[in-house]
Amino acid sequence: MSEDRRLDVLRAIVEDYVATREPVGSRALVERHTLGVSPATIRNDMAALEDAGYIAQPHTSAGRVPTDKGYRVFVDRLSTVKPLSAPERRAIGSFLEDAVDLDDVVDRSVRLIAQLTQQVAVVQYPSLRRSALRHIELVPVGPRHLLVVLITDTGRVEQRTLDAGLDLDELLVARLRAQLNVCVAGRRLPELTTALRDLGAAFEPEHAPLVASVVAIIEETLAQESEERVVLAGTANLARGGADFNNTLGPVLEALEEQVVLLRLLSEMAEDEAAVSVRIGSETQHVGLLETSFVTTAYGDEHGAIARVGSIGPTRMNYPGTMAAVRAVARYLTRILAGS
């Protein structure tokens, strides 16, 4: 039996099952696809695919459906991800470029992926741990209070108010602001502790308490806000496709509510060599996600990848379409964050 023909049969089964949600028989393959062989030969190929664990027969006298192993072979043999159409790309660009800040970009991105895929969309928020500081602003808001504003290269803004404990000198505040930005601009979180530690040496001893207080509130803010988080949209799409799940939707929804589960998967998938990573069924290694697949890719800025975006749906998903949508949104996110 031809190995290439067997894989063509598997591809046809996956495509038909995704399109119809019905088990696929040999007669349907002959009618819908030009495989160049007789129905008897296709039946033999299907028997071999079943023996190898790529397809399964859900019940007697039924057609075949792909298994997780079969989907994996199908995905791995996608030589290229078909790009979205020009109108689709223009629509994505227009929708995302109208965002007013980072929160709006993330919110628009997750809703856009959910709409494009009709599945659950996941966007990992740019973490301060992976971001670099672009600027620190110090703004006196009274005789003794100082607003400390941190702005990252991804557009994330964090601010805290500091009680200086003494009347503020505007010249000292301006000098401290300048020195801070020399120390931190362009540095990522792991590099900041060392850079900030030596800042006090640039100031007179009588100014040390103010410098120490500002450094402390910066470090405290970075520590508090470095926690990873994800944003979801389109959970209702799973309910509309409930027939794809043999069990109830409960375990799936519970898994999606556990951000630690999604963050673990995103972290593991970040190590994959493929530009667009796919975890299918049991590959997620979580009992609640055994009937789902997770498609993700990275987005970033001029320094490289900082987080991931993705889509979660039933294993019977349109893999090429989902991969194309996720990749397209990630590319626009990267373009926006890089300021190009």
- pTM, rounded to two decimals: 0.77
pLDDT value of position 293? 95
**Can you give the residue range of the structural domain that contains 169?**
133-225
Give the CATH number for residue 62: 1.10.10.10
Q: Are 222 and 151 in contact (CB under 8 A)?
A: no
13 and 142 assigned to the same domain = no
Q: Is 31 a domain residue? A: yes
CATH number, position 184:
3.30.390.60
Q: 247 and 113 in one domain?
A: yes
Residue after which a domain boundary falls, among 177, 197, 225: 225
Task: For residue 11, name the pLDDT band (cuts at 50, 70, 90).
Answer: very high
- Cα–Cα distance measured from residue 119 to residue 114, given in angstroms and rounded to the nearest whole number: 5
Whether residue 249 sits in one domain with residue 238 = yes
Residues 122 and 146 in one domain: no
How many domains, the chain?
Answer: 3
Same domain for 204 and 215? yes
Q: Looking at the predicted structure, is the pLDDT value of residue 340 above 50? A: no
Q: Determine, yes or no, domain membership for 78.
A: no
Q: How far apart are CA 35 and CA 9, in angstroms?
A: 8
Query: Could you tell me if 236 and 327 lie in one domain?
Result: yes
Identify whether 75 is part of a domain. Answer: no
pLDDT at 191: 75
Claim to verify: residue 330 and residue 183 sit in the same structural domain: no
Q: What confidence score (pLDDT) does residue 103 get? A: 84
pLDDT for position 247? 64
**Whether the predicted pLDDT of 31 surpasses 70:** yes
What does the pLDDT look like over 223-262, one tens digit per residue? 765 567 899 999 988 887 666 776 677 888 888 888 889 9
Judge whether 237 and 119 are in contact, CB under 8 Å. Answer: yes
Q: What pLDDT band is residue 110 in, cutting at 50, 70 and 90?
A: very high
